[in-house]
Amino acid sequence: MTSTPSLSRRRFLGASGIALVGSILPAQWTVAASGETASDSFRVLRARSGEVKLRGPDQAATAIWGYDGTVPGPLLRVKRGEEVKVRLINELSEPTAIHWHGLRLPNAMDGVPHLTQEPVAPGKSFDYRFVAPDAGTFWYHTHFRSSGQLGRGLYGALIVDEPEPMAVDQDLLLVLDDWRLTEAGAIHESFGNAHDAAHAGRLGQYLTVNSRDTWDIPVRTNERLRLRLINAANARVMVLRLDRHQAKVIAIDGQPSELFEARGGRVTLGPGARIDLLVDATLEAGAKAPLVIEYGRSEELVVARLAYAEGEPARSAPLGEPKPLAANPLPERMDFAGAFRLDVPLDGGAMSAAMMGGMMGGGTGPATKPRGIDPRAGVFWALSGRSSTGHGGPPLFQVKRGRTVVLNLPNRTAFPHAMHVHGHHFRLLDRLDDGWKPYWLDTVMVEPRQGARIAFVADNPGKWLIHCHMIEHMETGMTAWFEVT
């Protein structure tokens, strides 16, 4: 195994924690999308290299890969029921594709190379065209050689507006990422190394919001804000906290939820997850409230601040109680009696019996070892006793369209996993019965030695991935696919 490049913990804070630079809100994070449109009205996205000043305006830029050379890529925005029409032009030196994370779209548009489409070769293009069925906060990203391509910045946000959007003064997009950089500020080339893959995945030491070192968000007293959070990191679980404000969760993974208070102003986003927060700006003129990411045992980093304007408040009092967002047309009715039920244990990784058993030749080793885990071949993880990277091999299961599917995901590893299902949103079931939490998810965090049970109506025909969204786990065994016929 190679080892993790040695990164000093102190640089983490020294580089991006303290130097707060006053900055204005970049317009592209607040309103409608813009950009190049082909004559047949496809929005053009060029996957190419670019440069971004991740470490602040006074530091050298970092070479990235991004859509239109930016990261996050251009904000795409449509209304629910409208068509998304995107022409991907690949200007990279390797193949790529775009996956539309969390969208319940036709299978041929899902953007999974070798499973739903051929990878788009350098110099070639591919047209994505589908109706956005649900309003909410979604994102798009590469699904090819993902450790390197996602890690270099090939992602962006897709916002689908409600027919009647919630009344807010500011609608803000906050895309969280962490970057593993060299001393000189270049992206560290250690993609896909065995140590990351067998442990928690690739963790970076620079945390950014919208690729900015820090960000002052100008607000006025008594404004209402909608914060759309997206965790675009390869593997880092982001714990985000807003101090001195009440933050209400209004949507999770793109789907409206019951309104509830984020305890302690704190939300947790696994890789791939989104949370929409409603925040009333209740502090006095001139106040500053930090938005921090908590990491490690008790460390935290200020990544942005709500910076209150001096002068008059926006209105004399905060707005009244908000109404929850209207639900999207998801298949609500589950048939638990007739459900297809499957155990899908998560296995492998450093410190696991599955991996050590074989290596130490212990009595219970090979007999209970999931097929496929082979550290020497760079395969560290398994789903349901099999290791795959997504398209080879038989499906995990096949069901007829309309069948309710209940998956039990016991995590027998020493690491958390962010399990993501393509093409469907699911319910998180209670421990003891088939009751569920009052929200939908497309990615669920399963803690070590814990489990999760999820249920969904398999109403979308085609071949769909289920995988860990910690990219280095996905690429070393923790992936499978299922088919809805």
- Applying CB under 5 A, the residues found at the interface with Cu ion are 417, 468, 470, 473
Contact window for ligand C2O (CB under 6 A) among 7-15, 116-124, 206-214, 465-473: 465-473
Give Dmax (Cα) for the chain: 73
| DSSP conformation letters of 368-418 | HSPBT-BGGGTB-EEETTB-B-SSSS--SEEE-TTEEEEEEEEB-SSS-EE
**Pick from Cu ion, ligand C2O, none: which does 427 bind, CB < 5 to 8 A by kind?**
none
- Residue whose CB is less far from Cu ion, 299 or 447: 447
For position 143 contacting ligand C2O by CB under 6 A, the verdict is: yes
Residue position matching structure tokens 């009696």? 337
Residue 141 binding partner per list Cu ion, ligand C2O, none, with a CB distance cut-off of 5 to 8 Å that depends on partner kind: ligand C2O
Q: Which residues of 376-385 are buried (b: 16+ CB within 10 A; e: fewer)?
A: eeebbbbbbb
233 vs 242 by CB, closer to ligand C2O: 233
Cα–Cα nearest to 314, from 338, 282, 346, 342? 282
Work out whether 141 is an interface residue with ligand C2O (CB under 6 A). Answer: yes
For 15, phi then psi, to 5°, come to: -80, -40
224 within 8 A of 260, measured Cβ to Cβ: no
| Segment near ligand C2O (CB under 6 A); pick from 175-183, 250-258, 368-376, 463-471 | 463-471
Q: Return the amino acid letter for 75.
A: L
Q: Quick one: which segment of 77-85, 283-291, 429-437, 464-472 binds ligand C2O (CB under 6 A)?
A: 464-472
- How far, in whole angstroms, is CA 338 from its chain's centroid? 32
Q: How far is the CB of 69 from ligand C2O (least distance, A)?
A: 21
Could you give the CA distance from residue 429 to residue 337 in angstroms, rounded to a whole number? 15
Q: Please give the residues from 64 up to 123 whose contact with ligand C2O meets the rule CB under 6 A.
A: 99, 101
Rounded to whole angstroms, how far apart are CA atoms 29 and 72?
10
468: partner contacted, choices Cu ion, ligand C2O, none (Cβ within 5-8 A by kind): Cu ion
Nearer to Cu ion, 101 or 417 (CB): 417
Q: Of the candidates 154, 240, 465, 484, which one interacts with ligand C2O according to CB under 6 A? A: 465
**Minimum distance from residue 478 beta carbon to Cu ion (Å):** 5
| 403 touches, from Cu ion, ligand C2O, none (C-beta below 5 to 8 Å by class) | none
Q: Which residue, 69 or 410, is less far from Cu ion as judged by CB?
A: 410
Total residues binding ligand C2O (CB under 6 A): 10
Q: Residue 265 and residue 248: Cα distance in Å, rounded? A: 8
